[in-house]
Amino acid sequence: MHMPAIYPDLKERSVFVTGGGSGIGAALTEAFVKQGANVAFVDIAETESRALADRMEIEHGRRPLFVPCDIRDVAALQAAVAEAGRIFGDISVLLNNAANDQRHTVESVTPDYWDDRMAINQRPMFFTAQAVLPMMQRLGQGSIVNFGSISWKLGNGGMPAYTTAKAAVHGLTRGLARDFGIHGIRVNTILPGWVMTERQKALWLTAEAEKEMLAGQCLKIHIQPTAIADMALFLASDASVACTAQEFTVDAGWS
């Protein structure tokens, strides 16, 4: 049974998660709810997100705030951040988790498709950070976690726009860490390995791909979303008070 650490400083913290309704994001929402934090999340998957909020209330007695939002709409995303701040107080933890790893061939990519991939996988991270900055400045502290991927480190093909966006996360994290650090705000990147979400299992987990994964990983395990949430809890809490501008890889030793 998974027994996460308890970080007392996360209790009653105001936390904002992008894509918090399913996959790793749902594990993030649940992990922070279980710490006693006030979690707000945006997602486009409305049915799953409402079901998650209901389940959190029943199982943990704490209902996260779900704001339906397509993160490609920067104004709507920043409005969601503002709404979360009004309801739960200034946001002190921002988890830039939402992404879409849709496969695409080189030949099929148009300028519009390329821009759309960046609008999902890269651009929102900057504009959520911009929106929480005044809140974190008022608090005198904050933690921002941007979600990268080991896919580009492994040299994976079949999704060049996604791997480009995910590599760019490192530059964003390090640049913002410098600008935000003077306000006591930390910015880090988590690089998940291959995490066994329902979506990954349904779309990509063939016997052959599983064999390749287990051969590549030092640890012969199937990484669960909770393993990523555990790292996010650490990076959000004061336990990582001196960690910023860094990449934290949770991939069972694959990359």
Ligand X SMILES: NC(=O)c1ccc[n+]([C@@H]2O[C@H](COP(=O)([O-])OP(=O)(O)OC[C@H]3O[C@@H](n4cnc5c(N)ncnc54)[C@H](O)[C@@H]3O)[C@@H](O)[C@H]2O)c1
Which residue among 32, 66, 88, 162 is the active-site one? 162
DSSP lists the bridge partners of residue 96 as: 146
Q: Report the nearest approach of ligand X to the CB of residue 50 (Å).
A: 12
Long-range Cβ contacts of 48-53 (<8 Å, 24+ apart): 48/21, 48/22, 49/20, 49/21, 49/22, 52/20, 52/21, 52/22, 52/26
Binding flag, residue 192, ligand X (CB under 6 A): yes
Active site residue 113: no
Residue from 120, 129, 139, 187 binding ligand X (CB under 6 A): 120
Task: Give the binding-site size for ligand X (rule: CB under 6 A).
Answer: 27
Helices (H), the chain: 23-34, 46-60, 74-88, 111-121, 123-139, 160-181, 198-203, 207-216, 225-236
Structure tokens that stand for 59 in this block: 């199982």
Closer to ligand X at the Cβ: 97 or 240? 97
DSSP 118-129: HHHHTHHHHHHH
Binding mask 3-32 for ligand X (x = CB under 6 A): ----------------x-xxxxx-------
Q: Report the nearest approach of ligand X to the CB of residue 44 (Å).
A: 4
Closer to ligand X at the Cβ: 200 or 226? 200
Residue environment code for 28-48, b if the CB has 16+ CB neighbours within 10 A, otherwise e: bbbbbbbbbbbbbbbbbbeeb
Structure tokens that stand for 131 in this block: 């929106």
Q: How far apart are CA 215 and CA 221, in angstroms?
A: 10
DSSP lists the bridge partners of residue 66 as: 41
Stretch that binds ligand X, among 127-135, 170-178, 192-200, 205-213 (CB under 6 A): 192-200
Closer to ligand X at the Cβ: 33 or 139? 33
Q: Report the nearest approach of ligand X to the CB of residue 112 (Å).
A: 15
Q: How far apart are CA 228 and CA 223, in angstroms?
A: 8
Binding mask 124-163 for ligand X (x = CB under 6 A): -----------------------x-x--------------
- Per CB under 6 A, which of residues 40..59 are in contact with ligand X? 42-45
Binding mask 58-97 for ligand X (x = CB under 6 A): ------------xxx------------------------x
Residue with tokens 């594990």: 27
Stretch that binds ligand X, among 4-12, 83-91, 98-106, 233-241 (CB under 6 A): 98-106
Residue ranges that bind ligand X, judged by CB under 6 A:
19, 21-25, 42-45, 70-72, 97-101, 120, 147, 149, 192, 194-195, 197, 199-200
Q: Which residues are identified as catalytic?
A: 162
